[in-house]
Amino acid sequence: MAMRKLFSGGDFFEAPRWHGGAWWVSDIFGGRVFRVSPEGEGSVVAEVPEWPNGLGFLPDGDLLIASLRDRRLLRLGKSGRLSLHADLAGLSPYWLNDMLVDQLGRAWVGNLGADLENGGEPGPTSLCRVDPDGTGEVVADGLLFPNGMAITGDGHTLVVGESMGNRMSAFTIAEDGSLQDRRIWAEFGPVPPRERWTMATLHDMDLSPDGCAIDAEDCIWVADAGNRRVCRIAEGGRILQELRAPAGDRIYACGLGGPDGRTLVICAAPSSDAGQLQGNGLASLYEVTVDVPAP
């Protein structure tokens, strides 16, 4: 499979989402959210000074943006103006990470599990659910760096990548939005011993799941930055396909969509170091055609 460069010039791309005939992607260190056409023409749709991360669309088409450092969910309406959807400072103890918005408009939001601002290292942390009215609650805890998420085609199972855990965990979504029956969806290696839980360890794992995207067969494409690849994974952990970015970049996230649902877009960069990347335009989006479409 040949990868093609779709768009470049960002500082650090994350959370690509296909919606309304275009890709939407956060440029975290650039403090911007882009809309990118299938032809690779990009425009800035929002400025987020506290760094945008996870993205997702509400049923009415408004865009939710996880504002990383101030732990807020912002809402981009039809007017192009940003408003506050939810303040998660009281629910998420650390900077916000990836986010998934489901078909009911519920936002599932993880956090980094580390006080990076003050030199902290990762530890177990929580996952929040934010309802369409902006109210939120903690729905899971004890997660090891919760990252990319996906919901199976029947809408009943939430899969959460645990970047520090060498695994992806699954939960049954109850009718009231609570999470039940936690179990391992895929396991790639042992959990590192507690003394090795550092940010550097994330790039030294069997498979450290980052951003992800589910397909119509309920297999999940998972970015694995430490091993510079994106993998299509079946429940149980079997790797069905593996792709690598050009130029040896690391892959931090992926999205599945396009006009026929068969375009896999990946977010690639040399590293995740803000000091190295901010203002230097080294991040790129690549695309590749895959066999199994989005749901």
Question: pTM higher than 0.85 for the full model?
Answer: yes
pLDDT at 12: 98
pLDDT at 112: 94
For CA atoms 156, 166, 270, 220, the dihedral sign is negative
Q: How far apart are CA 206 and CA 43, in angstroms?
A: 37
Closest to 230 in 3D by CA, of 240, 218, 242:
242
Residues of the chain with pLDDT under 70: none
Q: How far apart are CA 179 and CA 183, in angstroms?
A: 11
DSSP H or E segment with residue 26: strand 22-27
Q: Would you say 237 and 190 are in contact if contact means Cβ atoms under 8 Å apart?
A: no
Closest to 46 in 3D by CA, of 60, 30, 61, 59:
30
Q: How far apart are CA 160 and CA 206, in angstroms?
A: 17
Q: How far apart are CA 126 and CA 22, in angstroms?
A: 32
| 222 DSSP β-pair partners | 212, 231
Q: How far apart are CA 291 and CA 14, in angstroms?
A: 23
Residue 246 has φ and ψ, to the nearest 5°, of: -65, 160
Residue 200 has φ and ψ, to the nearest 5°, of: -65, -30
- Residue whose pair of structure tokens reads 């990118």 in the numeric block: 36
pLDDT at 116: 85
- HSE-up of 100 (CA within 13 Å, CB side)? 25
Q: At residue 121, what is the residue type?
A: E
Q: At residue 80, what is the residue type?
A: G
Closest to 35 in 3D by CA, of 4, 63, 70, 72:
63
Buried b (16+ CB within 10 A) or exposed e, 150-184: bbbeeeebbbbbbbbbbbbbbbebeeeeebeeeee
Q: How are beta strands 72-76 and 63-67 bridged, if at all? A: antiparallel
Measure CA of the first residue to CA of the last residue in the chain; give whole Å: 21
Closest to 98 in 3D by CA, of 14, 8, 208:
14
Q: At residue 186, what is the residue type?
A: A
Fold of domain 4-289 = Neuraminidase (2.120.10)
